[in-house]
Amino acid sequence: MEQRIFFQTSLLLLLIAATISAIPRDCTEIESENKRAGTGLYVIQPTGSPPLVVNCIRRGNSSWTVIQRNSRLSKITWTESWTTYKYGFGDVLGDHWLGNEYIYLLTKQKMYKLRIEIKDNKNVVKFAEYSSFYIESESSRYTIRLGPFQGTAPDCMTNTVKNQIIDNQRFSTRDCDYDNYRISCAASRGGWWHDACGYSYLNHKYPQWNSLHVVKVSMMIQPVC
């Protein structure tokens, strides 16, 4: 009897382990396993991460994993602490931040590109895309690394305008200031890869992207190959 219980318990644990190990690591793997999978909420599990509920956006034969979504006058304050930004917050169906630790684990497992889609006050959608994107670990303050730019929106992350470059910056929050300015940019402009309080930051009740009047914005990633 005890042997039967032990066998059944072991079998159950193996089935659970098999199920967990089968969880896709990003939205692209979901699309690869199920060609009918469309835009919506799914469970993924990046290597080294617990399972995560994310918004997947299907475009043609490819899928994107959403890591941020924000809208003008969002109910989110975006002035959250370092720990809150680390593990994420908000409503995955609406405005949210996936979490720096999970973005780090996601972008550590493959080579990804970043796409930022911005809807302006005229309902025109523009995009900024970077051919490679990852952030480093917490010990490196989640420093952002970006590749070459293309898009219909201005390049506000890798351009070399003094005090405004985002690429290669450490992440800052109101309680952990790692920017290059004498005061905390994140205290008034939300958690972001601030240089010296430039004109482009997307985690704010009034998200900014240079001269664009941002109404809605989404940040999403996809494997390069």
Q: Place 21 in a pLDDT band, splitting at 50, 70 and 90.
A: low
Category of 47 on φ-ψ map: left (φ > 0), alpha (ψ -120 to 50) or beta: beta
Reported pTM:
0.89
Do the Cβ atoms of 126 and 101 come closer than 8 Å? no
Q: Which domain holds residue 183?
A: 25-223
Q: How far is CA 7 from CA 1, 11, 12, 16, 18, in A?
A: 10, 6, 9, 14, 16
Residue 3 inside a domain? The answer is: no
Is residue 125 within 8 A of residue 151, CB to CB? The reply is no
Residue 13 lies in a domain: no
Q: Is the pLDDT of residue 180 over 50?
A: yes
Token pair of 52 as six digits: 């995560």
Query: Which CATH number is 44's domain given?
Result: 3.90.215.10
pLDDT tens digit sequence for 101-116: 999 999 999 999 999 9
Domain contains 18? no
4 in a structural domain: no
For the chain, the domain total comes to: 1
CA 135 – CA 133 distance, rounded (Å) = 7
More confident residue, 32 or 27: 27
